[in-house]
A and B are shown apart, each in its own frame.
Chain A
């Protein structure tokens, strides 16, 4: 498996996904997991980690040895090219049957390994450049992604929403795409719950629909000034959103937490009265499952992959701020609604498990290998 990161050395959901999936997949197959070695690699007993030499992944502006100034936009392609060059050396002495990579960052590396060994390649799409960019893709990333998707032997999409996007935007034939949903590790929370705290947790980027969320918050606060909105996480839109909350005159009821460490995430999920994922375009939306697992009811936009698999939640269109605000007020005002969503949410989670995702992934392996 060609990865990008693993906990605890991870910054995003990709690492968590790879960890949870490989842990269960290892019941069916033995796994060599490659990842760029930036600040060290973890070790696990269920698979062998193969570190690949890599430049470090910082943020912002870089100066390389040739005294050239680089921005993030050309640094990333550089790192993924290094990954592709170095991986070829590392996998020469390994015996394996297929290649499984995740997202565009690992696509060039996977393609290089396929070229070297001729082994079949499965490409899991966690998000497309269209999702990440909110509709205006970065050409470099789009090019890498498109080449990868065309060359992969089979694609796993994390939702039907993503599958459809691959068909429409990338011209991938439907029969080359399988859908395997994400799941969540159980989160237990036994502490207190706020009575009127509405949480969003995730990156602060344009595709998350936070502009509409803040407008919904304004409508909520007009009816009930005692609701607290917590927007947890960081991202490029942070300043913009803080300013927007001031413009809307709701800044006293909206808290921007900035970066939240893992142990605090659990507390936030559990202590919230309600979790909202208002995304404009979300391939999956694993935070929704995490919030449900922590015993918190959820409102989720219909433009998310996760809304395909969960039933015990309230679904609204991301742009329908009035209906979103109404749903928030309803959950906060009607205790039976909050309690029913919370209690029945666990029933969804009984169905949506990593064990199931791993079994479905293994079935894709078998199909690709004609087993």
Chain B
């Protein structure tokens, strides 16, 4: 049984409060102070210490993991803390780490157009080669958004495999712990074991969880007793130290996990490239409609569920031919506006009903997030000559 850890690294370019009065006057959309502050905090609490720990585990226990690191993250690391890039490079250089490709901007590009998606993935391939000298064979789409159509594009671009959510309604009687194949293309499919992934990602520090506290030996036991060929543990990398604070014992857990795993002879770590190389598909999976790894609905509703999100996205989509014609900074800004987080901040699913339990937002509310975004869209139109007056 292979343990396939893939960590998603991500920091968006958060937008500043861009008022109606900024339209046509000011084209700087980003909250530089907040982005810097959050990046530096995450670097201190998560990226640097977790990378250091992983490097140690690789040397001592031959641990293997994989990462996906978007262009937007690398840009911010370049601006705010270059040590972060260096520490990822050290990990990759061990040979025990694979990288995935995705959209450069951690974006909803696929929903804009195939062309935009392909361009953003190419940009990401380029930056991955530049920083890490790697050519990934596995593609992931933002937030594990996946359908047969995405796999088809992946195939055309030469990718061997994709990752997505191992959601019950899609898998049916099938276990997520096998390699599958996409319908309509020759792309292998790795499906996330959400139960075992969320045990670490969400439940780890939940006192009312019946398995609390989760220890490395217990978790290794669960892994060992799982049937199948591969356990896909796909997690936000910020789980370590940011979502789960050091006080929860998350680092001790990670430190001890390889030791406990070693006690079970049939368990082994592998990079995602090795998994793709080794395992053969057991079945074909048909996913005609979009699936994602978000919340309980596992669809696109966290980003494009309500009317504000839909209208914001429609507006941005319409600008594609214009920004491409103009290119340069306008195109770059437009692409940053495609980052999925911008739409997530407009989500009212939990907010509207007063359940703030799982809620986070870069703004006061989804309404401000939307208004702010729409002001920026207006300014973009202004720059494109589509509006004569604000």
Which A residues form the contact surface with B (CB < 8 A)? 219, 223, 311-315, 322-323, 325-327, 329-331, 333-337, 339-341, 344, 347-348, 351
Contact = CB atoms under 8 A, between A and B. Distances in A.
B21 A314 contact: no
A226 to B, nearest CB: 13
Contacts of A335: 311
A337 B364 CA distance: 15
B323 to A, nearest CB: 21
Interface of A is mostly: helix
B308 interface: yes
The 9 A-B pairs at the shortest CB distance, nearest first, are namely A326-B19, A330-B371, A329-B20, A326-B20, A336-B311, A344-B352, A336-B307, A336-B308, A347-B352
A341 B367 CA distance: 8
Contacts of B353: 347
23 contacts: A223-B390, A312-B352, A314-B364, A314-B367, A314-B368, A315-B365, A323-B19, A326-B20, A327-B368, A330-B374, A331-B371, A333-B20, A334-B370, A334-B374, A335-B311, A336-B312, A337-B367, A337-B370, A340-B307, A340-B366, A340-B370, A344-B352, A351-B354
A38 B312 CA distance: 57
Contacts of A351: 354
Contacts of A329: 20
B24 to A, nearest CB: 10
B351 interface: yes
Contacts, number: 73
Contact of B371 (A312, A327, A348): A327
B354 A322 contact: no
Nearest to B389: A223
A347 B306 CA distance: 15
Task: Indicate the member of A219, A326, A341 with the most B CB atoms within 10 Å.
Answer: A326
A311 B371 contact: no
Given A223-B390, A337-B370, A311 B354 contact: yes
B50 interface: no
Contact of A347 (B354, B364, B366): B354
Contacts of B311: 334-336
B346 to A, nearest CB: 9
B45 interface: no
Contacts of B310: 336
Contacts of B375: 326, 330
A323 B364 CA distance: 13
Nearest to B352: A344
A340 B21 CA distance: 23
B126 interface: no
Interface in B285-308: 306-308
Contacts of B21: 219, 223, 322, 325-326
B365 A336 contact: no
Given A311-B365, A347-B354, A340 B308 contact: yes
B365 A337 contact: no
Given A219-B21, A322-B19, A336 B370 contact: yes
Contacts of B128: none
Nearest to B370: A337
Contacts of B366: 340
Nearest to A345: B352
A340 B349 CA distance: 12
B22 to A, nearest CB: 8
A334 B371 contact: yes
B348 interface: yes
A340 B354 contact: no
Nearest to B23: A223
A311 B19 contact: no
B17 interface: yes
Given A336-B308, A348-B354, 17 more contacts: A223-B390, A311-B354, A311-B365, A312-B351, A314-B368, A315-B364, A325-B20, A330-B371, A330-B374, A333-B374, A336-B307, A336-B312, A337-B367, A337-B374, A340-B370, A344-B352, A347-B352
A231 B348 CA distance: 31
A348 B352 CA distance: 8
Contacts of B367: 312-314, 337, 340-341
Interface string B69-98: 000000000000000000000000000000
Contact of A344 (B19, B312, B348): B348
Contacts of A312: 348, 351-352, 367
A314 B17 contact: no
A339 B307 contact: yes
A330 B367 CA distance: 10
Interface string B357-368: 000000011111
Nearest to B373: A334
Contacts of B370: 334, 336-337, 340
A330 B20 contact: yes
Nearest to A315: B364
Contacts of A344: 348, 352
A233 B371 CA distance: 30
Nearest to B390: A223
A333 to B, nearest CB: 8
Nearest to B366: A340
A337 B315 CA distance: 14
A315 B371 CA distance: 13
A50 B370 CA distance: 53
Contacts of B20: 223, 325-326, 329-330, 333
A159 B374 CA distance: 33
Task: Indicate the member of B19, B370, B374 with the most A CB atoms within 10 Å.
Answer: B19
B379 to A, nearest CB: 13
Contacts of A340: 306-308, 348, 366-367, 370
Contacts of A347: 352-354
Nearest to B351: A311
A340 B305 CA distance: 12
A51 B311 CA distance: 58
B180 to A, nearest CB: 39
A322 B310 CA distance: 28
Interface string B310-350: 11100000000000000000000000000000000000100
A219 B390 CA distance: 14
